[in-house]
Amino acid sequence: MRLRRHFDHDDSTGIDLAPMLDFVLNLLIFFIITAVFVKEVGMTVSRHGGGAGGPATGKETGSISVVVKQSGEVLVDNREVDVRAVRANVERLHAQKPDWGVMVTTEQNAETGLLVQVIDQVRQGGVENVSFGTSSR
Amino acid sequence: MRSRRHTSHSGDEHGIDLAPMLDFVLNLLIFFIITTSFVREAGITVNRQEAATASHDDSGNILIAIRSNGEVWMDRRQVDLREVRPIIERLHIERPEDTVVVIADKAAKSGLLAQVMDEVTLGGVKEVAIGAASVGGE
């Protein structure tokens, strides 16, 4: 019945848009509900040592060594420095060897917070090629 | 002109002209389709370390959280360390362009972080980021 009544007016209005609108509204509601506006912040690092990732830097190019100990000490190039001084030290070494990457090695029980701070400092020092590994102990 | 023709012919039957509303709704729909990203959330919040160089990673949408007591969470449930690799393998097959962000608590052991990152790499995802908080907010 309804269809026939519609047909009478087809000359002027064309297709009836109401069912399409219903469908599109349903789709819209679905996407609004499932939308997640999360943007993760993070720092991409490569791995060295361990089983999976190979060494980040080849043999021919060396790397600046940064060691994070579980006691909270940080060693840059085998010299103990404060966490906030890592940036300055890395900047200096990076100026001497511009093509070297940085290898951050942590002890198994070192805290992640300190590790993230150190990697952050290294990246602030201008080195993007950071790799991360744990010492076997 | 057009609206007058509409009202004279079919206004009594159909009421409002739905076409402009449909245009608007379609635009909204396209916006939400584009911005939706289907992030696999870890399901818990951890106390993360702030970092000044942390950058927004658009494609980082598999999240793995490590709590300070050594629990590993992904996809809203706690998983064993040995489960991480098969889960990552499955997700990597479904959407190969996904990358992983490992969010570790400040007090978590970095040895566990390294193990989780190894499992993710073995699962086939080559790009792994360590999650951090941007300085001053969020």
Parallel, antiparallel, or unpaired: how do β-strands B50-51 and B55-56 relate?
unpaired
Q: What is the spatial distance between Cα A117 and Cα A123, in angstroms, rounded to a whole number?
A: 10
Of A40, A42, A115, the CB nearest to B110: A115
Q: What is the spatial distance between Cα A127 and Cα A65, in angstroms, rounded to a whole number?
A: 12
- Give B-chain residues touching A108 at CB under 8 angstroms: 109-111
For tokens 């002209």, the residue is B17
Residue A108: how many other CB atoms lie within 10 Å: 15
More confident site: B1 or A65: A65
Tell me which residue of A137, A64, A9, A44 sits closest to B9, measured CA to CA.
A9
**Is B53 near chain A, with CB under 8 Å?**
yes
Nearest Cα of chain A lies from the Cα of B41 at a distance, in angstroms, of 9
pLDDT (tens place) for every residue of chain A, 137 residues total: 445 444 554 455 577 778 888 888 888 888 888 776 666 778 888 877 644 344 444 445 678 889 998 898 899 988 899 988 999 999 999 999 888 888 898 888 888 889 999 999 998 888 888 888 888 65
- B23 to chain A: closest CA residue: A21
**Is A33 near chain B, with CB under 8 Å?**
no
Per-residue pLDDT tens over the stretch B103-123:
899 899 988 999 999 899 899
pLDDT of residue A61: 66
pLDDT of residue B17: 78
Burial class for B41, CB neighbours closer than 10 Å (0-12, 13-18, 19+): middle
| Helix (H) or strand (E) segment spanning residue B111 | helix B110-122
Q: Would you say domain A46-134 falls under CATH 3.90.550.10?
A: no
Nearest Cα of chain B lies from the Cα of A96 at a distance, in angstroms, of 23
Q: What is the spatial distance between Cα B26 and Cα B22, in angstroms, rounded to a whole number?
A: 6
**Is B30 near chain A, with CB under 8 Å?**
no
Q: Are B131 and B48 in contact (CB under 8 A)?
A: yes
Reported confidence tier of residue B13, pLDDT bands at 50, 70, 90? low
| Helix (H) or strand (E) segment spanning residue B43 | none
Domain ranges of chain A: 2-34, 46-134
pTM, full prediction? 0.72
HEC assignment per residue over chain A: CHHHHHHHHHHHHCCCCHHHHHHHHHHHHHHHHHCCCCCCEEEECEECCCCCCCCCCCCCCCEEEEEECCCCCEEECCEEECHHHHHHHHHHHHHHCCCCEEEEEECCCCEHHHHHHHHHHHHHCCCCCEEEEECCC
Per-residue pLDDT tens over the stretch B43-97:
788 888 888 888 776 666 788 999 989 899 988 889 999 999 999 999 899 888 8
Is the per-residue pLDDT at B4 higher than 90? no
**Is B63 near chain A, with CB under 8 Å?**
yes
**Is A112 near chain B, with CB under 8 Å?**
yes
All structural domains of chain B, each given as residue ranges with its CATH number in brackets, are 2-35 (no CATH), 50-134 (3.30.420.270)
pLDDT of residue A38: 66
